[in-house]
Amino acid sequence: MISDRLEKLVEEMVDKGVRFEDAVREFEKRFIARVLVTYEGSLTKTADSLGMHRNTLTRKMGEYRIKRRAG
């Protein structure tokens, strides 16, 4: 179950001293990158799926150095 896996991951990160801000940034980066792949690089579809404005998505992609990769 997802909640069990997430709980285990959070426990591991806390035990290793990962800072909350770093954990949130890493999660957001990976989540955005994965949704971007799902929508084959479509910024509009990715932003809609994530519930954010396209400009916000573009800014976060730059901040996290996420490549668009598709068309």
8 located within any domain: no
1 located within any domain: no
Total domains in the fold of the chain: 1
* Domain residue limits at 38: 28-65
CA gap 25, 48 in Å, rounded: 20
> Has residue 15 got a pLDDT over 70?
yes
The pLDDT of 52-63, averaged and rounded, is 97
Determine the pLDDT at residue 70.
58
CA gap 14, 70 in Å, rounded: 36
pLDDT of 16-49, one tens digit each? 999 999 999 999 999 999 999 999 999 999 999 9
pLDDT of 58-69, one tens digit each? 999 999 999 987
CA gap 18, 36 in Å, rounded: 26
> Residue 40 belongs to a domain with what CATH number?
1.10.10
Taking the model in full, what pTM does it have? Answer: 0.86
